Each structure stands twice: as C-alpha cells, then as structure tokens.
C-alpha cells in the first residue's frame, strides 16, 4: 500500500496556485454579502428569552454524536461517538460527548441519590448529594477514552471516519471531591494491597475493582463537568473520574464503594476489558490508556474542500501516563516526520490539540500522527502493536492511524502494510 501510494504521489496533481487565501477583491464580481444590506442587519434578532438554555445554531446541526447501527444489537447496551472531526481546541461539550452504557442511561434525582462506602472501613457511611458538596473539592481537566476506542480497527481499516475510529473519547473539566477524602471520612483501611469495588446505580452496575493506590492518587467523585451538572448520560448526579485509565472504570451514577482485600474479578474485568493475546491467554488489569494521537482534520468526514494552498492539519493527542510532550506528523505514511505545533502545553492526562500548517499543492498524502508522552513512550505503528499483542484484541488499540488524501482532497481510512 505504501509503495503503491508513493508511486502515485510522484505522478500527483499539478503545482499549487500560489497559496493565496482569496483572489484580489477587484478581480471578483461585486459580492452582495459585502455590497447589499442583508435581512439580519435590517431586522431585529431573537429576544434574550428565546433560548434560556441554548443549543448550537441550526447550521451546526450535523455536529452530533452518531452511532454505528450494526455494531450492537440495540441502543441500550451500546455506544455512540464524539464528532471529533468537527471540534477544535480540547474541551468536549457534554452535548456531543460519546456515551457508553450497558443498561441504558438512568434518570436519578439528586434527592434520591445515595453513596454507600462500606467493607473494610471503621464507619460505613451513606452520603447524600448534599453531603458530597460539603467536602473540599477540586477541578481538573481529564480525557476519558473507552478501552474499545479504535477496537474495530484491529483487523485492518474498517470505519471511514475519525468520529467512528477514535470518537469514544471526551475531555472535560471535572469538579468533584478527591476519592481519598471520602475514604478517610469512612475510616477506610487504606493499606496498599486493598482494593475498592465500585458500583453504579444502573441495572448493569458496571462493577469494577480499583487498586487502592490509584484511588488515593487522583480519582475524583465528580458532580460537575465543564462547569455545569453532569448530563444524565454521563452519570448525573455523580460519577467516578479515574484519570488516564480506561473509561469502563469511570463508574457512572456512582452508588457504592466497598473496600475489599482482593479484587472481585467481576464480569467487566474478566470476560470483558481483558486483552486476548496471540497464545490464547488474556492480559488483565490493562487499565492505563497508552499515548495516542490522531489527525481529526483532514479526515474522511472532513475532506479538503478549499483547494490548493494553505492547509491546517489538526488533531488530538493524549496519554494516560501524563503529559503529551511532542506530536510528530507525517505526510508520506511514516517515511519522514515533522514536529507539530501544540495548541498549548500538554497537561496531565488531558487531551492536547496539535496543528501542522502546510502548503498543499494537490499531492496525494498518507497522513499520520504519533504521540510522545512525558515518560518518553512513543506511540507504536499498528504492525508494532500486533507483533506484541497478536490480532485477537479489541481493547487498547493505540496504533498509528493513516488517512489517504487524494489529489481532490477526498480522505479515506487506509492501513499501511
Ligand atoms: N458506569 C455505569 N454505571 N454503567 C455503565 O454502563 N459504562 C462504562 C463507564 N461507566 C458504564 C459506566 C464505560 S464502558 C465507559 S467507556 C464510560 O462509562 C463511558 O462514559 P460516558 O458515557 O460518559 O462517555
């Protein structure tokens, strides 16, 4: 694929037009948008009470979560995907942040909310929503990535859109109480070898075992996201935030935390969320989401419409091990790399936006991005990943993604072999 495509690139489209964003004003016919009085300037607009809680303007109505109907039997135990091809910056608005639930999103009123902390504790406690709000709180931005993100791509390029290949991902500013504060309140036995068993209030409960060390480190019992209440689908009124670790541990509608001496080995950490290796054994406790980057534009849902000249290549990078320190971009399928510009300095376990500004002359491209995090870890190619993990996996696919761009700017999901 790479050899073939590079040959095609040599015979690619003609040279660029010179990279001007627009031709000179006098060379064009008069533009009525400049010369004529428009409706919106000659009439008044909507009053301030027309949208007491606003939605995006109708012209943006295609920037929405989407699902892949054939992926799951129904929409109750299912997933939809964040439209990352159409977003910029790093914060994901809650209204289009992917949802993943196992028994549907439940409506739980604050007054009906209770959190039980029991097990190896001196004082088992039941907290109301109001109680949780009275503990000292913190605010942090973190990404949440489902372990199954990019899972359909293990067998080769499948889904023609970054929303579907990489959109089980969101990044929000969470406000909540550090889990260690609530454990201290219950007089939990915080010995290092202990675990927590965490459950949600939904029918699935999504029970997961969490090692004590992670609980004491940076987990948050969160009740706000991006400044406002969590949305129903993200666990209203309270969810667990487990920074850098797979989304399945971020238990929504948080109901019970039991301090236990051993991991429970629940369904969600045995038959699911383990990684089947080539030799038939399964790897478990693969909690951390390794460093990953992807170009969100251009991408199959965001082709190049504007013709030759200046082109902004943009994407996202993240690492469950900490901060993104560098992102490399390749235009030729990984033969050569250039260092991308970071939107701003990467922050701990949060999405980092990167940009790479080029002058596109219509040449075909094989676009790739690779992330490097503060531990020095370099995102692997898909072949490197398969060499270690085999081909049976679903979860934890952080191999380098390739987009093929043709001379017309149309983009396709491909894999370099
Ligand atoms: N918590 C409960 N109670 N029930 C669930 O089904 N799904 C988990 C996790 N927490 C789930 C849950 C999975 S698999 C993921 S990836 C994240 O929630 C998704 O969080 P989101 O729906 O806010 O994107």
Closest listed residue to residue 264, CA positions, set 194, 181, 216:
194
- Return the residue whose CA atom lies nearest to atom 10 of ligand 1: 251
Cβ contacts of residue 146 below 8 Å, gap of 6+?
79, 98, 100, 168, 169, 246, 247, 248
- Return the residue whose CA atom lies nearest to atom 2 of ligand 1: 252
> What gap in Å lies between CA 291 and CA 24, rounded to an integer?
45
CA of 182 to the centre of ligand 1 (A): 22
User: What token pair was written down for 300?
Assistant: 């199959």
Q: How far is CA 310 from CA 16, 18, 146, 333, 342, in A?
A: 10, 9, 34, 20, 18
> What gap in Å lies between CA 363 and CA 237, rounded to an integer?
50
Ligand 1 within 6 A of 247 CB? yes
pLDDT of residue 220: 98
Domain that holds residue 200: 94-282
Question: Are residues 208 and 114 both part of a single domain?
Answer: yes
The CA-based dihedral angle spanning residues 87, 253, 276, 258, taken in that order and rounded to the nearest 10 degrees = 140
Residue 9 in any domain: the answer is no
Atom of ligand 1 nearest to the CA of 234: 23
- The backbone torsions φ and ψ at residue 308, rounded to the nearest 5 degrees and listed phi first, read -75, 165
SS3 131: helix
Residue 306 in any domain: the answer is yes
Q: Are 259 and 199 in contact (CB under 8 A)?
A: no
Question: Which of 102, 199, 202, 233 for mutating ligand 1's site (highest number of atoms within 8 Å of CB)?
Answer: 102
Question: Are residues 133 and 254 both part of a single domain?
Answer: yes
- Return the residue whose CA atom lies nearest to atom 17 of ligand 1: 247
126 DSSP 8-state letter: E
CA of 101 to the centre of ligand 1 (A): 5
SS3 369: strand
> What gap in Å lies between CA 383 and CA 246, rounded to an integer?
22
pLDDT of residue 306: 95
Question: Are residues 166 and 312 both part of a single domain?
Answer: no
Ligand 1 within 6 A of 98 CB? yes
Q: How far is CA 176 from CA 190, 209, 268, 290, 407, in A?
A: 20, 20, 25, 25, 49
Question: Which of 235, 244, 269, 320 for mutating ligand 1's site (highest number of atoms within 8 Å of CB)?
Answer: 235
Ligand 1 within 6 A of 208 CB? no
CA of 252 to the centre of ligand 1 (A): 6
What pTM did the predictor assign?
A: 0.94
CATH number of the domain to which 125 belongs: 3.90.420.10
Per residue of the chain (417 residues), what is the pLDDT tens digit? 333 333 233 233 333 334 445 545 556 789 999 999 999 999 999 999 899 999 999 999 999 999 999 999 999 999 999 999 999 999 999 999 999 999 999 999 999 999 999 999 999 999 999 999 999 999 999 999 999 999 999 989 999 999 999 999 999 999 999 999 999 999 999 999 999 999 999 999 999 999 999 999 999 999 999 999 999 999 999 999 999 999 999 999 999 999 999 999 999 999 999 999 999 999 999 999 999 999 999 999 999 999 999 999 999 999 999 999 999 999 999 999 999 999 988 899 999 999 999 999 999 999 999 999 999 999 999 999 999 999 999 999 999 999 999 999 999 999 998
- Return the residue whose CA atom lies nearest to atom 14 of ligand 1: 248
CA of 254 to the centre of ligand 1 (A): 11
Q: Are 380 and 399 in contact (CB under 8 A)?
A: yes
pLDDT of residue 17: 38
CA of 282 to the centre of ligand 1 (A): 22
Ligand 1 within 6 A of 292 CB? no
Closest listed residue to residue 185, CA positions, set 175, 194, 177:
177
> What gap in Å lies between CA 9 and CA 21, rounded to an integer?
24
CA of 98 to the centre of ligand 1 (A): 10
Residue at a domain's end among 220, 252, 282? 282
Instruction: For residue 373, list its beta bridge partners.
Output: 324
Question: Are residues 253 and 300 both part of a single domain?
Answer: no
Residue 56 in any domain: the answer is no
Ligand 1 within 6 A of 245 CB? no
> What gap in Å lies between CA 307 and CA 410, rounded to an integer?
11
Question: Are residues 274 and 330 both part of a single domain?
Answer: no
Cβ contacts of residue 9 below 8 Å, gap of 6+?
332, 363, 364, 365
- Residue 135: CB atoms within 10 Å: 15
Residue 15 in any domain: the answer is no
Residue 151 in any domain: the answer is yes
Ligand 1 within 6 A of 146 CB? yes
Question: Are residues 222 and 319 both part of a single domain?
Answer: no
Atom of ligand 1 nearest to the CA of 205: 3
Question: Are residues 168 and 246 both part of a single domain?
Answer: yes
pLDDT of residue 7: 26
Question: Are residues 225 and 352 both part of a single domain?
Answer: no
Residue at a domain's end among 236, 263, 282? 282
Ligand 1 within 6 A of 140 CB? no
Atom of ligand 1 nearest to the CA of 199: 3
Question: Are residues 256 and 344 both part of a single domain?
Answer: no
pLDDT of residue 345: 87
Q: How far is CA 31 from CA 28, 40, 307, 412, in A?
A: 8, 16, 21, 35
Residue at a domain's end among 259, 282, 305? 282
CATH number of the domain to which 369 belongs: 2.60.40.650
User: What token pair was written down for 287?
Assistant: 């909690």
pLDDT of residue 318: 98
pLDDT of residue 391: 92
Ligand 1 within 6 A of 174 CB? no
pLDDT of residue 182: 98
Ligand 1 within 6 A of 389 CB? no
> What gap in Å lies between CA 46 and CA 340, rounded to an integer?
42
Instruction: For residue 338, list its beta bridge partners.
Output: 329
Tokens 């899972």 belong to residue: 151
- Return the residue whose CA atom lies nearest to atom 22 of ligand 1: 99
Tokens 């000249």 belong to residue: 309
SS3 361: coil
Q: Are strands 114-119 and 125-128 parallel, antiparallel or unpaired?
A: antiparallel
User: What token pair was written down for 206?
Assistant: 């999504």
CA of 25 to the centre of ligand 1 (A): 53
pLDDT of residue 129: 98
Question: Are residues 258 and 302 both part of a single domain?
Answer: no
Question: Are residues 278 and 307 both part of a single domain?
Answer: no
CA of 239 to the centre of ligand 1 (A): 9
């Amino acid at each position: 694929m790479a050899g073939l495509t590079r040959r095609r690139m040599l015979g690619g489209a003609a040279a660029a037009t010179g990279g001007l964003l627009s031709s000179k004003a006098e060379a064009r016919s008069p533009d009525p948008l400049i010369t004529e009085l428009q409706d919106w300037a000659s009439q008044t607009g909507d009053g301030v009470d027309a949208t007491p809680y606003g939605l995006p303007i109708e012209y943006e109505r295609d920037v929405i979560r989407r699902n892949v109907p054939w992926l799951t039997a129904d929409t109750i135990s299912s997933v939809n995907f964040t439209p990352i091809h159409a977003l910029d910056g790093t914060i994901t608005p809650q209204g289009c942040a992917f949802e993943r639930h196992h028994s549907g999103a439940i409506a739980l009123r604050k007054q009906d909310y209770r959190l039980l902390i029991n097990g190896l504790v001196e004082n088992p406690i039941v907290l109301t929503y109001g109680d949780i709000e009275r503990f000292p709180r913190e605010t942090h931005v973190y990404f949440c990535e489902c372990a199954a993100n990019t899972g359909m791509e293990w067998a080769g390029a499948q889904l023609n859109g970054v929303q579907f290949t990489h959109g089980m991902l969101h990044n929000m500013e969470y406000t909540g109480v550090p889990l260690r504060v609530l454990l201290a309140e219950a007089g939990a036995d915080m010995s290092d070898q202990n675990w927590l068993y965490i459950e949600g209030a939904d029918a699935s409960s999504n029970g997961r075992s969490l090692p004590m060390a992670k609980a004491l480190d940076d987990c948050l019992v969160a009740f706000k996201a991006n400044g406002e209440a969590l949305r129903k689908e993200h666990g209203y009124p309270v969810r667990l935030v487990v920074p850098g670790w797979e989304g399945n541990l971020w238990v929504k509608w948080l109901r019970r935390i039991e301090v236990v001496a051993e991991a429970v080995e629940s369904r969600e950490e045995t038959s699911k969320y383990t990684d089947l290796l080539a030799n038939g054994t399964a790897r478990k406790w693969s909690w951390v989401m390794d460093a990953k980057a992807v170009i969100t534009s251009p991408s199959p849902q965001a082709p190049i419409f504007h013709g030759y000249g200046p082109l902004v290549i943009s994407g996202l990078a993240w690492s469950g091990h900490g901060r993104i320190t560098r992102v490399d971009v390749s235009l030729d399928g990984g033969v050569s790399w250039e260092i991308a510009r970071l939107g701003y300095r990467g922050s701990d376990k949060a999405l980092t936006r990167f940009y790479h500004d080029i002058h596109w002359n219509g040449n075909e491209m094989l676009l790739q991005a690779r992330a490097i995090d503060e531990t020095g870890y370099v995102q692997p190619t898909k072949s490197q990943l398969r060499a270690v993990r085999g081909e049976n996996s679903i979860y934890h696919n952080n191999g380098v993604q390739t987009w093929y761009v043709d001379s017309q700017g149309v983009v396709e999901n491909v894999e370099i072999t």
